[in-house]
């Protein structure tokens, strides 16, 4: 999946799974293992995992009803595959209830949005084509980005843009949004928002639309993406079997810092006095970090420009 849309003039692209070969290698897929694709998207990684299974089992999940319907149609008839509609924060409980805690051999979370979501103007994630300013992963629940812009005062909106988009001009953009709203012209479409931000900022970065950070921030806020990720990371280690692998692909620093911190913390032993020869179970390291954050190859970025910001992290459950 991908995090944000770049203004590079690229045409509509088919969905391509990011770093697929590295994901399969990192998960060390065994023919009889149990695997979870926590963010199905359009199933590129799921199909790659299935191609390596024989008697094994794959659970695919997504919070987007459209993605779940696609998974059910594409993979639902495969006896090795189970399709769930679930948010990241819900997935640990679903897996525990299914009796799979401590039994999963590999778990993948590919964060961000998929190309089909971004390319569909009705979803409101991108600014290449005008559409309703929605941005909800699940359009049946919660408030849209347009509703958020209609509700928040300038100070709170600036905080959202600064916190989730790392937008340096957050205050100016927020004030422009509120001014438009108070003038009876609230921002309701992706094109209106992109034009408003460009009117405030101009075009300071060649090749990158000035609204990129604003769109990222609103999408994260609308879907509580960081809260979902934190809740998932808090419980994911207990789902893995000894030797099981956790693989995460993130697309911006806010996600990657959380993943990096979670793996690092689970890989450490708490400070103990010399008189304690063996660490209690609660202080034993639970994960082994495998390598550092990896980036796509130059060839993959050339073939799939939307992979350019991806970071792949991998860890293994210790006995």
- pTM for the full model? 0.90
CB 68 within 8 A of CB 44: no
> Which band of pLDDT confidence, cut at 50, 70 and 90, is reported for residue 17?
confident
**Which tokens sit at 233?**
């990371």
Distance between CA 147 and CA 305 in Å, rounded? 31
In this structure, of 118-122, 214-218, 246-250, the range with the lowest mean pLDDT score is 118-122
> Which band of pLDDT confidence, cut at 50, 70 and 90, is reported for residue 11?
very low
Helix, strand, coil shares of the chain, percent, nearest 5, are 45, 15, 40
> Which band of pLDDT confidence, cut at 50, 70 and 90, is reported for residue 270?
low
pLDDT of residue 13: 45
Q: Is it the case that residue 279 has pLDDT exceeding 60?
A: no
CA atoms within 13 A of residue 268's CA, in its CB half-sphere = 9
Distance between CA 319 and CA 308 in Å, rounded? 35
Q: Which CATH number fits domain 125-223: 3.40.50.150, 3.40.640.10, 1.10.150.170, 1.10.150.120?
A: 1.10.150.170
101-133: b (≥16 Cβ within 10 Å) or e: beebbbbbbbbbbbbbbbbbbebbbbbbeebbb
CB atoms within 10 A of CB 73: 11
Query: CA–CA distance from 64 to each of 136, 139, 194, 264 (Å)?
Result: 9, 8, 24, 30
Domain boundaries, the chain: 20-115+226-317, 125-223
Higher pLDDT residue, 202 or 306?
202
- pLDDT digits over 127-178, tens only? 989 999 999 999 999 999 999 999 999 999 999 999 999 999 999 999 999 9
- pLDDT digits over 209-241, tens only? 999 999 999 999 999 999 999 999 999 999 999
Domain 20-115+226-317, CATH:
3.40.50.150
- pLDDT digits over 49-105, tens only? 999 999 999 999 999 999 999 999 999 899 999 999 999 999 999 999 999 999 999
Return all residues near 50 (Cβ < 8 A) that are at least 6 apart: 58, 75, 78, 80, 81
> Which band of pLDDT confidence, cut at 50, 70 and 90, is reported for residue 8?
very low
> Which band of pLDDT confidence, cut at 50, 70 and 90, is reported for residue 272?
low
End-to-end CA, the chain: 31
Long-range contacts of 175-179 (CB under 8 A, 24+ apart): 176/200, 177/149, 178/153, 178/154
Helix ranges, 5-138 (H): 20-27, 44-50, 65-75, 91-97, 115-119
The bridge status of strand 287-289 relative to strand 34-37 is: unpaired
**Which tokens sit at 214?**
């604003």
Higher pLDDT residue, 14 or 314?
314
């Amino acid at each position: 999946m991908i995090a944000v849309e770049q203004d590079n003039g690229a045409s509509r692209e088919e969905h391509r799974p990011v770093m697929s070969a590295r994901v399969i290698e990192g998960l060390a897929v065994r023919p009889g293992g149990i695997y979870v694709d926590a963010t199905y998207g359009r199933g590129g990684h799921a199909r790659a995992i299935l191609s390596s299974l024989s008697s094994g089992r794959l659970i695919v999940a997504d919070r987007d009803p459209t993605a779940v319907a696609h998974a059910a149609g594409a993979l639902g008839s495969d006896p090795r595959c189970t399709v769930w509609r679930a948010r990241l924060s819900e997935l640990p409980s679903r897996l525990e209830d299914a009796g799979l805690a401590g039994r999963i051999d590999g778990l993948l979370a590919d964060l961000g949005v998929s190309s089909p979501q971004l390319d569909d103007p009705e979803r409101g994630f991108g600014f290449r084509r005008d559409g309703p300013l929605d941005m909800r992963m699940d359009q049946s629940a919660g408030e849209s980005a347009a509703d958020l812009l209609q509700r928040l005062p300038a100070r709170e909106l600036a905080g959202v843009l600064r916190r989730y988009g790392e937008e340096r001009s957050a205050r100016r953009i927020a004030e422009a949004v509120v001014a438009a709203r108070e003038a009876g012209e609230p921002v309701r479409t992706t094109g209106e928002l992109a034009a408003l931000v460009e009117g405030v900022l101009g075009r300071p970065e060649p090749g990158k639309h000035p609204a990129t950070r604003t769109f990222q921030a609103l999408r994260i806020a609308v879907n509580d993406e960081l809260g979902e990720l934190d809740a998932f990371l808090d419980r994911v280690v207990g789902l893995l079997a000894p030797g099981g692998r956790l693989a995460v692909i993130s697309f911006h620093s806010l996600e990657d810092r959380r993943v990096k911190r979670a793996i690092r913390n689970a890989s450490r032993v708490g400070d103990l006095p010399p008189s304690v020869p063996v660490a209690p179970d609660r202080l034993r390291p639970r994960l082994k970090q495998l390598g550092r954050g990896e980036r796509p190859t130059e060839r993959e970025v050339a073939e799939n420009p939307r992979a350019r910001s991806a970071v792949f992290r991998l860890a293994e459950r210790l006995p």
